[in-house]
A and B are shown apart, each in its own frame.
Chain A
Amino acid sequence: MRKRTRTHAWLAGVLAASLAAAACAACSTETSQQPGASVTKVPESGDVIDQELMIALAQAKNFHHKAKVYMSDGSLAAATASVRQILSLRFPAGAPEAEDVRLDARALLAKLLVSQGQLEEAMTTVSEGLAQASRESFFVANLHTVQGEIHEARAAQLDAAKDPRAAEEKRAAIAAYDRSIQINASLQKRLLEGR
């Protein structure tokens, strides 16, 4: 009987000690999550500017410079090829800069194609860019502007050929410019509200 009482006493002691330890642990966990304590957010690999992003940006920059040299030399085809290479650059997954740089490259590429009279390919380049855009941006707005210019160029060709479809192209150009203006206004408003 006495032995059983002692066993019960030990069991009670162990249970109480466990309860105390659990309560203390919960208390310390809660304390560590308080805002004044050490709050460390380790950024994920895609969050911060890393070497991979910088390399991709540097390559895009170099292709643009190369294209500029070709353009200054009048080699529009070579300049077009150089800009086209920007579209196949590998950026870190999910980097917003990637979309901006590619859209801007498409805008330049389309203008180069227009200057070479390749209006259909220019329109395809723009349309693909707009279809791939995941968000509204100043680069999307710029691409709409270039789209308007392509429509204008088409209208000019049709006008020269006395083709009545020139009016449609002009209306499409106005619609593209309007869309660009709308996006720019919306983004500027959002940016001002964010400040």
Chain B
Amino acid sequence: MATDDDDILSGPVPAPDAEPTAAERAHAKTFAELVDKTLSGRTPPAMSADDRALLEVATVIRAASGGLALPAARQGALIEDVLRQAVGVGAPRGAGASHASGITPIGRGRARRWAPWAIAAASTLVAAAAIAMLWLRPPPKAAAPVAAEVVPARWTSRPTDPLIGPIPREHAGEAGARIDYIFADRLDGFRERRWSPGAPGSRGGKP
């Protein structure tokens, strides 16, 4: 059974200046409500084929006319993708990947790219300067005389010949006198080393 609704698309086209009929007005009101519901996400599960065709046309016209705001999540994902491409990270692998990894600022991304090269260049410069310093500095002088000065001879255990000198025949048996002399000399050196500040084994004061 045919209805007014059924022949709205296949019926005769009314004249441009003709007044809308009551049925047309009622149909327009019903369709308007249908469009509003669709735009608010409450599309009715069942509708006539004509209404569905008209609804699709209305949706396309609305999208084409602009001013259609994207959902916030979709907007964020698009911006992140663009930023990733700008800093050279690449596209996200799956949905929601942008949110998981966070957004890297373009400036920091560039710094990360150049940091190793900057460190390499600076280190090479330092190495070159150090090598040049090694190469150009004057050769060190012999350190032996300085080392000899550190421990005075009078602090060391050494032959007593210079202290005693040649022993005349008439004094050949006077070892007792010589041991006194040797002991006194070595005691002087021992005390000097013992009480000399900074000397190894020193007590750092005066006796």
Contacts and interface: CB of A to CB of B under 8 A. Distances in A.
B18 interface: no
A107 B157 contact: no
Interface residues of B, number: 55
16 contacts: A17-B119, A17-B120, A17-B123, A19-B123, A24-B130, A30-B137, A41-B151, A42-B200, A46-B157, A49-B190, A49-B193, A51-B190, A96-B160, A107-B175, A145-B169, A149-B172
Interface string A149-177: 10000000000000000000000000000
Given A27-B134, A48-B193, A49-B189, A101 B143 contact: no
Interface string B105-131: 000000001001101111110110011
Contact of B161 (A17, A23, A138): A138
B180 to A, nearest CB: 6
A108 interface: yes
Contacts of B182: 57, 97, 100-101
Contacts of A35: 140-143, 146
Given A9-B116, A24-B126, A43-B156, 20 more contacts: A13-B116, A13-B123, A15-B120, A16-B120, A19-B123, A20-B126, A35-B142, A35-B143, A47-B151, A48-B201, A49-B190, A53-B186, A64-B175, A64-B179, A96-B159, A107-B173, A107-B175, A141-B166, A149-B169, A187-B166
The binding surface of chain B is classed by DSSP as helix
A58 B159 CA distance: 17
A43 B199 CA distance: 10
Interface of B: 88, 113, 116-117, 119-124, 126-127, 130-131, 133-134, 137, 140-143, 146-147, 150-151, 155-162, 164-167, 169, 172-176, 178-180, 182-183, 186-187, 189-190, 193, 200-201
